[in-house]
Amino acid sequence: MDSRMGRSTLAAGSAAVVALLLALVGWTPTVVAQQPRQQPAADGLSVVELRPNFFLIGGAGGNILAQIGPVGVIVVDSGTTDAADRVIAAIRRLTPLPVRYIINTGMDADHVGGNQKLAQAGLSILAGALAAGAGLGDNLLTNAGGASVLAHENVLTRMSAPTGQTSPFPTELWPTKTFAYRAYSMYLNGEGIQVIHMPNAHTDGDTAVFFRRGDVIATGDLIDTTRFPVIDVTRGGSVQGEIDALNRLMDLSIHNLPLQWTEDRTLLVPGHGHVYDKLDLLEYRDAVTVVRDRVQQLIDQGRTLEQVKTANPTLGYRSQYGAESGPWTTDMFVEVVYKELSAKKGGAKP
């Protein structure tokens, strides 16, 4: 037997024995956590490598997740329209490969604004097959010149709904491919990718995008680490749907047990803010659930909306998730919770 192979086998065996003995005595080694690698910032954007071939692009509106592989780039959300050129430049610094798919987790302008430019800068996933003479039918050749934009059909319905004489979004930003069922699955770049509909949460068109091999989930605005979740009632959102979605994400996520000193765990990329793991998600889910339950108790006591706000049902969570100004405040969140729960009892008190 080769001496180097013998030494390698002996070393591996010794390491396994040491690890077993340490586990038996309950000792946990101190390990410095490996931090995500920050790529050079460009034009006000931050690019962080979460895992090999997974990159978080921040500063373009909503968070953008880019997954790179031999087929090309899969992008989850596209940021704002104004930031689109900078996002394209950031992706090209990571790889010369084209964008193949853009997946929208929702319908907000800061998640879909870059759809047109990113799609035009990309290349259809069918282009290679067409070049090879695959004989694909005409029904598969839609948008053959650029990247496909995928979303739940409710996203297209909301984006194309007329308000006055025009729709709220130009047609160039609309998804080019939609699905209506519980989930849409595909396999690209060696990844099983599931686009999972989370009904009536932030809106009625939310999806979470689960990269199964990389164990990374893009949640869109189901999670917003900068504030309590935005419940857009006018577009089908609900507090109960949000809690149901967070519970579903809990089911999909895995923490680093039993080897807690390792970096292995599910990573969740929120619509805004920093990356979560399952323990972070647990705290966020519990905060929303506890506030809901506190408001329900106050309603059962006959409190009005103003009395509920004065009672501060967000106590203990306000400093972490609260927002006192901006387009979505803590009081607005409490008001949505109150009105939804009161409606189940037959009407809210002003």
pLDDT at 165 over 70: no
- Model confidence band, residue 8 (pLDDT cutoffs 50, 70, 90): very low
- Which of these, 226, 231, 192, lies nearest to 209 by C-alpha position? 192
Report the C-alpha gap between 106 and 222 in whole angstroms. 9
Residue 167 pLDDT: 73
pLDDT at 25 over 50: no
Report the C-alpha gap between 30 and 121 in whole angstroms. 46
Give me the mean pLDDT over the 15-24 stretch.
40
Domain map (residue ranges) of the chain: 37-276, 290-345
User: 3-state class of 217 per DSSP?
Assistant: strand
CB hemisphere CA count around 320 (13 angstroms):
12
pTM for this entry: 0.83
Q: Which residues contact 148 (CB under 8 A, 6 or more apart)?
A: 100, 101, 102, 119, 124, 125, 176, 177
- Which of these, 119, 117, 90, lies nearest to 102 by C-alpha position? 119
CA-only gyration radius of the chain, Å: 23
Strands 73-76 and 99-103: parallel
pLDDT at 30 over 60: no
- Model confidence band, residue 73 (pLDDT cutoffs 50, 70, 90): very high
H-helix or E-strand spanning residue 92: helix 84-94
28 compared with 204, residue with greater pLDDT: 204
pLDDT tens-place string over residues 249-286: 999 999 987 877 778 899 999 999 999 999 999 999 99
pLDDT tens-place string over residues 135-151: 444 434 444 569 999 99
Structure tokens at 55: 């990159």
CATH topology of domain 37-276: Metallo-beta-lactamase; Chain A (3.60.15)
Give me the mean pLDDT over the 29-36 stretch.
38
pLDDT tens-place string over residues 100-157: 999 999 999 999 999 999 999 999 887 654 444 444 444 344 445 699 999 999 999 9
Report the C-alpha gap between 203 and 201 in whole angstroms. 5
Residue 39 pLDDT: 57
